[in-house]
Structure formats: C-alpha cells, structure tokens
Structure 1
Amino acid sequence: MYLLTRLLRDNEINGEINGQCMLIMRGRVVIGLSFFFMGGFIMMLIVKNYRTLQTVQDTRVLTSDDTSGGKNVLKPVCKVDFTNVYSMDLTTWSTNNKVCSECQNFIKATLKTPYGNTPIFVYPAAQDPWVSGILISSGHFEAEKSSIMFDLLKSDPELNLIDIGANIGVYTLSAAKMGRKVLAVEALDRNVRHICASVAGGGLQDKVTLVHNAISNSNGVVNLGVDKNNMGGTFVDVDSDHIKKLKEGRAQGTYGTVHTIKMDDLLKIPGIKNFKKVVVKMDIEGFEAKAMEGASLFFEKIKIVGFIMEWEFHRKQKTADTILKFMSKHNFIPHSLSSAKQKLDYTKSESWGYDVLWLPKG
C-alpha cells in the first residue's frame, strides 16, 4: 500500500513537472517566433530604406552652411538646367550634351562677390583644401587676383571675360554675377560638372558659355595629371617633368584623356561675337607656353585689355622665354599683380610672383 501510494504521488509530481516543462517550452517557442517575425520585419524595413537610398543617392547635394557656423544638410536635386556647353574633337565644334547631364553629389557653398552672393558647388574640403576648403570656410578665393579682374572689367562696360583653366568656376561665376559674359574653358570633366551646377544654381545661364577641352598648341588628345588634394592643380601631362618636380610628390596618376584645342580655335565657337573685347585669366598649371604657341590669330582678332597669367611654373624655365617673346611680339608689358602700375623687368622673370598681369602698350 505504501509503495502504491508513493508511485501515485511520484506520477503526480512528474506530471506537474512535465506540464510545467511543456508550458516553458511553449513559451520559448512563442518568444522565439516573435523575435523571428520581428527580425524579418526589421530586415524588410532596412531593405526598403536601402533601395530608396540607392534611388536618390545620385541626386543629392550637400549644402554647407560652414560660413555661418551651421551644419551640412542633404537636399535632393536632379538634372542641371544648363546646356550651353561645347567641345571640339580633332576638327569640329559640337554641343556637349553629355558632360553635365548626370545628377551628382556636390557640396553647396556660397561665393561672395562685390556684386552679390551666388552658390558655388565645391568638393569636400578634405579632397580639395586649397580651393573648396577655403570657399567653404570663407566664401572667397584669391581675393587679390579677383580684385584685379573686377577693376579691369569695370574700366569698360563692353568688356567680358575669357577664363582659361576655370577649375570650379570662381572667376567665371564672379564675372557673370557682375553681369558680364564669360567664355570658360576647363579640361577636367568633373570640374565642368561643378561649373554647370553653379551656373544653373545662380541663374547665370545667359551669361556663361562653357568649353570642355584643354588648351594647347595643336589639336590632339592628352592625359590629365592628378595633383593630390588639389583639384585646381590638374595639369596636362605632356613634357611635364618640371611641373611634377615643383608639385613635390603630389603628382600621382592621371584622370584620363581629353581633346586639346588651340586658343585660335575659340574664334570659331558659337557666340564668340560677344568676346571681341576681353580680359583673359589663364591658369593651366605650366602649360601657358604651349597655349601661346597656338594663339597668334586670337591675339590679332580679339582686343585684350588685360591678361592675368599664372607664372609659378615658368620661373627659371625655358617656357618663360617662349612666353616673353610671344607677349613682347604682341606689344604686352608685364606688371606686378599686387600693383598694376608697377612694370616688371623682363630680365628678372625668375623672380616674378606667382601671377603676372600683362597690359597692352599705350
């Protein structure tokens, strides 16, 4: 009897234990299924958001308010409303509808000029500290050179600007904001896209004609050299050993190829009738001498009242002689950029500054 009672009690206990175990197991299954379905729902949200991000990531502009201490804000933007872009192959000018047709991710800064502010689309400061970084933080770039350009343009309301080596468009946008016509020439396609976006963003489409070519002494195809962390330092990689040496290790690789044109070829571009009397700004990283070799007809047909030229790469170089002979032949006198009234000594060109202002005699 004792054994029977003990067995019955043990069975009851085991039944209770088994029942509790079943409840625990059922609870665990329910919890597990809940986590499973919750995880699946979260994954669906992640995939959906990722697809949405992929759809818009090429249509965003990073708006920088660094000049006023604000934060960067992403805003959606799409195609650029600017089509006045030309390119020349080995023989023929044509409208370039491709280079600025795709949406891009740009940082939107503000270019401050005496004639009002205008948006300028720049690179991240870490990628391009020398131009973009300065523009993001201050809204200005090369104030002294810009001031000379403004003074020259103000001297005659009929004067317009030809900007050769436009980079991301500081001088182009400044002159356009002043109300002048601008013919901007830029070799690097990504810089051209920045200019397109800035021109459209500022509503300056009727002021700017943009050329996507490199300037040289002949029509051909060249590689564009990379200046690390300096988008404005892009150079034509032809006979460029001294340029690479001056860049002190920053010349690393190439961006690819681009067609070259002569300055004389600009005389055939649509709209050149607006540029019979001009100021020229040229900054093409040591290729200025090659440009002069293809510019004789340009200097004969166009009235140039001032020519601002980068000189850094020509000090103590044979290219200086080429430029000096050409400019002397066409009756231009070199002046200090910091003081337009101060003439420079031809025999001391190795000590000239980073830039030179050429003014016509008389």
Structure 2
Amino acid sequence: MKELKDWMLPKVEPRYCIRTKPVGEHQLDYTICLKNKEEDAVISGAILEEGIFESESVGVTADIGHLYPQATFIDIGANIGIHSLAALKAGCKVIAVEPIGRNLAFISKSAHLMNNDHKIRYLQNVVSDIHELMYPVENLSNNGGGNSFVNSKNSDKKLADTEPFKSIVIEDIMKTVDTPEAFIKIDAEGMDCKVIRDFIPKLNKRVYVPYIMMEWVMVVKEFPAQCKNIENMIQDFITAGYTPYEANLRSKLNKNRIKFPFDNIIWVHRDAKKINLNQDSPHFVAQYGNGVQLVMGADK
C-alpha cells in the first residue's frame, strides 16, 4: 500500500473551504475544501451551489458514524472527502483511499481545519480484486475524482504518458484496522464488485463490518462486465447476514428490485446497530442522477 503522510501530499491552495448543510438524523455538518468549478463541476460545483452533494447517502454515513463513533470508516474512492469528512466529524477514525493525490490533499486541508487530522490516514491506491498495475483512462465527466482504471490487458485505453498505479485488495486495508468495528463505502467507478466480491466470505472474521455502502448504478447499468455473476455476489451478501437497502429513501429491497440502477445501496448486517431504516418498500417515485426514474409499488 502507498500510505501518504501530510507532508507527502501535493500542495493545494483551495479557493473555497465551507461549512456544509446539515445531513442525517442528527443534522451533522462539517468543513470541506473545494476545487474550482472548472476542475470539478460535479461535486465541488454542487456543494458551492447547494451546500452539500448527495445529502441522502452522506447522511447515511453520518448516522452510522453516530452509532459507531469508535469505529473505522474505510472510504474507497474518497474523491475530495464528502463521506470521509462526515465520518471524521462523527468521531470515527478514517482511512481515505483514493488514487488521485490531489484529492487526498484537499481532504487533508479539510481535516486540518476540523482539527481532526490525527484521526485520518491517506492511501493513494486503486482497489481491485488482485494485485496488479492499473492505468488511468480519460475522465470525461468534469468530476475531479471520477477516474476509471484499466489493467495491462486493456492498456490501449490508457492515457498517454501516464504512470501505472499498483492496485491493492480490500483485505490489505482491513489488516491495518485497529478498531473492533469498521464500516465501508465503495465508489470505485464500476469496479465496485471487484473490490468487495471475494472478501464477502471473509467479512466479520477479525473486524466487525455492520454496514457497506456501494455505488450501485455503475455495477448494474454502466459497467456490468466488471460484475460477472452478480447474482452470486448478492447471494453471498445475504448468506453472510446482510440485507440490501436503497440509500436515498433507506428502503428495504427484495431480490427483484435489487437489480434496479439505484445510485447507492446499503448492505446492513443483521446484528448491526440500526440507523433509521424503512423496513417496508413503500410506493415512491425516485429520480436519480443518472437520469433513471423509478416508479415502484409497495411489496405484498
């Protein structure tokens, strides 16, 4: 693993460091340093305009942190830290995993302003299912952290004159956790299945993992080839004692609905301390950032 200390991070001078809008049941807010809109219109731009980005899913992280303030939060695909900083404010230790060093530098600036920089670690790595060299591909989303990576078999798609990143596996990270509990967020730009799939049978052996949040739309809609045998992965989660919930409305999902392209889903372990969750699947209409609108009726 490539762990960076503060002095090893790139030098950044954020133009904006703001207090977010409150999120979650306990109305948690925190300080976050942002990029210019020209560099990151998606996340930094949204926070500048609205005070928060993806408030529902960040609220989930904040509420879990409230229940588990002594836990470690593992943020895979941390970007500029919208989830890492919420967990940090809740009192958790944080491991921010992000291949782009500049993004980690922005998180560091925020953590220092919060006087919590002693509780966060920075890993500059890509996370996958094996150890290999991974190459960045062009980011066309105007999202300062929305970078995808390919291995040597697909290196023809890589950006020219770029250095590869050494991938790690989630077990490498878990071995360094020094708290009895940890909760995980995975936003790996389509590689989410590869990050967690092989580790599911090993969950809760040494460190208890009550919650896992995954960016789901990339798994089922954008990059399905990266998640072969998704039915097996879902069943592995269920066998391991986890139940899926849609993150925006915190609604329980049955096996038929879990393949909808929700933005994010939460896997909740049966023994977890429970945040506020909807045990039923009520009728609702949800408009997602990917343009998908779902009209769903109540289960019988």
Fold agreement, TM-score > 0.5: yes
| TM-score under structure 2 length normalisation | 0.75
Change (3 A) 1:227 1:145: same
Q: Which amino acid aligns with 1:356?
A: I
Instruction: Quote the Cα distance in structure 2 between the aligned partners of 1:314 and 1:115.
Output: 29
Matched, 1:219 2:127: no
Provide the secondary structure at the position in 2 that maps to 1:357: strand
Change (3 A) 1:203 1:325: same
Displacement of 1:217 in angstroms is 0.9
Is this contact kept in 2: 1:327–1:333, CA < 8 A? yes
| Percentage of identical aligned residues | 21
More helix by share: 1
Count of residues in Structure 1 that have an aligned counterpart in Structure 2: 256
Matched, 1:236 2:141: no
Q: Which amino acid aligns with 1:233?
A: G
CA deviations 1:297-351 (Å, max 9, x no partner) are 35432211111110011226351335314323422111121333x3212244332
Alignment of 1:113-152 (within 5 A): 113=22, 114-118=27-31, 120-152=32-64
Provide the secondary structure at the position in 2 that maps to 1:237: strand
> Which residue does the alignment assign to 1:259?
166
> Which residue does the alignment assign to 1:104?
12
Displacement of 1:361 in angstroms is 2.7
CA deviations 1:29-58 (Å, max 9, x no partner) are xxxxxxxxxxxxxxxxxxxxxxxxxxxxxx
Instruction: Quote the Cα distance in structure 2 between the aligned partners of 1:193 and 1:97.
Output: 8
Q: Which moved further from structure 2: 125-134 or 135-144? A: 135-144
Q: Which amino acid aligns with 1:304?
A: V
Instruction: Quote the Cα distance in structure 2 between the aligned partners of 1:237 and 1:122.
Output: 27
> Which residue does the alignment assign to 1:312?
217
Is this contact kept in 2: 1:335–1:356, CA < 8 A? yes
Match of 1:302 among 198, 207, 217: 207
Change (3 A) 1:132 1:97: closer
Q: RMSD across aligned C-alpha pairs, in angstroms? A: 2.7
Displacement of 1:128 in angstroms is 1.0
Provide the secondary structure at the position in 2 that maps to 1:301: coil
Instruction: Quote the Cα distance in structure 1 between the aligned partners of 2:195 and 2:76.
Output: 10
Matched, 1:358 2:262: no
Change (3 A) 1:326 1:186: farther
Match of 1:173 among 82, 85, 106: 85
Higher RCO (CA-CA < 8 Å; seq separation 6+): 2
Match of 1:206 among 118, 128, 141: 118
> Which residue does the alignment assign to 1:277?
181
> Which residue does the alignment assign to 1:344?
253
Instruction: Quote the Cα distance in structure 2 between the aligned partners of 1:106 and 1:237.
Output: 30
Instruction: Quote the Cα distance in structure 2 between the aligned partners of 1:140 and 1:240.
Output: 38
